[in-house]
Amino acid sequence: THTLRVGVLGGAPSTPGQFRDIQQALGLKLLPAYGQSECLVISGIGPQASDKQRSQTVGRFLPMSEGWILAPDGHPLPPGQEGEICVRAPEVMLGYYCDPEATRRAVDSQGRLHTGDLGYLDEDGLLHVTGRIKDLIICNGNNLSAAAIERKLLNLPFIGQAAVTALPDPDRGEVPGALIVLRPG
Quick one: pLDDT at residue 31? 94
Please state the rounded mean pLDDT for residues 95-114.
96
| Percent of all residues in the chain with a pLDDT value above 90, rounded to a whole number | 77
Write out pLDDT tens, residues 38-72.
998 999 999 999 999 999 999 999 999 999 999 99
Are 87 and 111 in contact by the 8 Å Cβ rule? The answer is no
CB 109 within 8 Å of CB 73: no
CA dist 105 → 50, 75, 108, 121, 143 (Å): 37, 17, 7, 24, 22
Listed residue (35, 31, 29, 28) closest to 11, CA to CA:
35
Please enumerate in sequence order all residues whose Cβ is within 8 A of that of 66, keeping only pairs 6 or more positions apart, or say none.
87, 88, 89, 112
Q: What are phi and psi of 170, to 5 degrees?
A: -65, -25
Q: How do strand 113-121 and strand 83-88 relate by DSSP bridges?
A: antiparallel
The pLDDT-based confidence of 148 (bands split at 50, 70, 90) is confident
pLDDT at residue number 97: 96
* pLDDT range class, residue 143, cuts 50, 70, 90: confident
Does residue 12 register a pLDDT over 80? Answer: no
Say whether pLDDT at 1 is over 70.
no
- Distance, in Å, from the CA atom of 96 to the CA atom of 117, rounded to the nearest integer, reads 18
Q: Which of the four pLDDT bands, split at 50, 70 and 90, describes residue 14?
A: confident
User: Which burial class, exposed, middle or buried, applies to 124 when counting CB atoms under 10 A from its CB (0-12, 13-18, 19+)?
Assistant: exposed
Average pLDDT of the segment spanning 154-166: 93
Mean pLDDT (the chain, rounded) = 92
